[in-house]
Amino acid sequence: MSSAQVAVVTGGARGLGEAIVRRLHADGYRVVVADIDGAGADALAAELDPSRATACGVRSDVAERAAPADLLQGVLDAFGAVHVLVNNAARTRATPVMEIGPDELDEVTAVNFGGTFRFCQTFGSHLAEQGYGRIVNMASLAGQNGGTATGAHYAASKGAVLTATKVFARDLASRGVTVNAVSPGPQEGETVRAVLGEDGVDALRASIPVGRLGDPAFVARMVALLASPDAVSVTGSCWDANGGLYLR
């Protein structure tokens, strides 16, 4: 078995998660692709490494309370260790705020905030016990500015992710575990187009100061940098990639 570090990426089968998986795998990590779409996770892992020695796919629904412990045990069984967790799984909805029903609110927050929080708890405890780890939470511009093209529940849940990142960073810092967030603005890809349609994407692009949507491959490089052993002095931070839509 390789001595390479093991990274887990939730929501890793497609979109930004797929870009992160590909980046980490290219950097030499053994990668667990966790996604509610188990077949998609398996397909990506097989494409990256048919032998499954450095990549494997796992079906995981982060909204389920048992998911963090089940996935952690599965990773330890498969690879014997874990060093990096990327909390990328998210549910995106663009329902107008006054039309959001209780079931939809619960659905979005259970994945975006509840899943991230529970995974930080479970994996954070394990990483702290071993004295080393990196956790990267995928936040969003919507959690900083209240959202533009996304729903209020999505924006609020991502704001909660930013606060949780600080809480876990403070708690785990003395035990060798860093916790950071990456906060992308609108990215090139299927998610933005599914929410806005092509005309909406054109209008959004025109509103971005740099005049273009983000590049998921670049965001993945940001995640990889925070996941690296060299990132020992960075914790509790939020790295922005929003094209100038939010300046601070």
Chain-centroid distance, C-alpha 42: 18
pTM of the model: 0.95
Give the whole-number percent of the chain exceeding pLDDT 90. 86
- Is pLDDT at 194 greater than 90 in this prediction? no
248 inside domain: no
Mean pLDDT of 92-121: 96
The band of 91, judged by pLDDT with boundaries at 50, 70 and 90, is very high
- Is pLDDT at 199 greater than 90 in this prediction? no
Report pLDDT digits (tens) over 117-149: 999 999 999 999 999 999 999 999 999 999 877
CA dist 84 to 153, 180, 219, Å? 28, 12, 16
Contact 210, 244 (CB under 8 A): yes
75 inside domain: yes
Considering its fold, how many domains does the chain have in total?
Answer: 1
Instruction: Say what the pLDDT of residue 163 is.
Output: 98
Calculate Rg over the CA atoms of the chain. 17
**Of 29, 132, 154, 246, catalytic:** 154
247 inside domain: no
Residue reference for tokens 């996770």? 41
The band of 34, judged by pLDDT with boundaries at 50, 70 and 90, is very high
- Is pLDDT at 191 greater than 80 in this prediction? no
Six-digit token string for 127: 């990483």
246 assigned to active site = no
- Is pLDDT at 154 greater than 80 in this prediction? yes
120 inside domain: yes
1 inside domain: no
Mean pLDDT of 210-220: 96
CATH number of the domain within which 37 lies: 3.40.50.720
Helix, strand and coil content of the chain, in percent to the nearest 5, comes to 55, 15, 30
Instruction: Say what the pLDDT of residue 58 is.
Output: 97
- Is pLDDT at 2 greater than 50 in this prediction? no
113 inside domain: yes
Residue-number span of the structural domain to which 51 is assigned: 6-241
Contact 135, 180 (CB under 8 A): yes
Instruction: Say what the pLDDT of residue 238 is.
Output: 98
246 inside domain: no
DSSP string, 76-125: HHHHS---EEEE---------GGG--HHHHHHHHIIIIIIHHHHHHHHHH
Instruction: Say what the pLDDT of residue 153 is.
Output: 97
106 inside domain: yes
